[in-house]
Homo-oligomer: A and B are copies of this chain.
Amino acid sequence: MPPAPGDREARRKDVSEAVWRVLADKGFGGLTLRSVATAMNVSTGMLMHYFPTKRALIAHALDLLEKRTAERPRRERPAEGLASVRAMLLDILPLTGDDTARNRIWVSSWDLALADEGLATGQADRYTRLRATIRPHLEAARALGELPTTADPEQLAATAVAFTHGLVVQALFDPGRFPEGVQAAMLDDFLASLGPGRT
């Protein structure tokens, strides 16, 4: 029996929660109608009211990942310069349990995205937007004298994103080696290294 209209919204939330738990645990490689049904303790048939196909399930999972990433709590942004870049990159790193689950699901999505032209373009665009979000703060940092006058903000934005996502992957595989304090110290040293000169 399909759920009554009043139950529908509540049930939809339960389904999304179960999809998220499966993704955090098994990644997209382990996301099936059956694994989500098991996580919810319902039949696969019940779940097919929501996702008639595996493709629909994956589309929902990707939407959920976008939504939860957009809606995640963020640090207050200092007005400008490297302090602002620092806050943005700290908001990406897997410093808490929730951040770790979200990052683990993003890393998992790369396999899927690399195999699908549309998803790959979407991910390339996401990277372009992320660099574009960071870049003005690097320009401000240069104007403030926090970066050398010769610094290239577009290239530095790509380098900062590279450093951050590469640290995400290492930390996901070895959380004991990369606790919150180590990640933050690495980020601070990385940002300091961009400065106009050190002693």
- Interface residue ranges, A against B (CB under 8 Å): 25-30, 104, 107-108, 110-115, 120, 123-124, 127-128, 148, 155, 158-159, 161-170, 172-174, 177-178, 182, 185-186, 189-190, 193-194, 196-199
Q: How far is the CA of A52 from the CA of B62 in the complex (A)?
A: 33
Known A-B contacts A29-B112, A124-B174, A194-B193; the reply to A162 vs B155 at CB < 8 A is: no
Copies in the complex: 2
Selected A-B contacts with CB under 8 Å, 12 pairs? A29-B111, A108-B111, A114-B173, A124-B174, A124-B177, A128-B174, A155-B189, A158-B170, A159-B163, A161-B166, A162-B165, A166-B166
Looking at the assembled complex, report how far the CB atom of A171 sits from the nearest CB atom of chain B, in whole angstroms: 9
Chain B residues contacting A107 (CB-CB under 8 Å) are 110-111, 114
Q: How far is the CA of A113 from the CA of B110 in the complex (A)?
A: 13
Whether B173 pairs with A186 at a CB distance below 8 angstroms is no
Q: How far is the CA of A185 from the CA of B162 in the complex (A)?
A: 14
In the complex, which residue of chain B has the Cβ closest to the Cβ of A27?
B111
Chain B residues contacting A197 (CB-CB under 8 Å) are 197-199
Whether A162 pairs with B170 at a CB distance below 8 angstroms is yes
Whether A113 pairs with B173 at a CB distance below 8 angstroms is yes
Known A-B contacts A155-B189, A162-B186; the reply to A169 vs B110 at CB < 8 A is: yes
Q: How far is the CA of A196 from the CA of B199 in the complex (A)?
A: 7
Looking at the assembled complex, report how far the CB atom of A160 sits from the nearest CB atom of chain B, in whole angstroms: 9
Looking at the assembled complex, report how far the CB atom of A125 sits from the nearest CB atom of chain B, in whole angstroms: 9
Chain B residues contacting A111 (CB-CB under 8 Å) are 27-29, 107-108, 110-112
Whether B159 pairs with A165 at a CB distance below 8 angstroms is no
Chain B residues contacting A29 (CB-CB under 8 Å) are 28-29, 111-112, 115
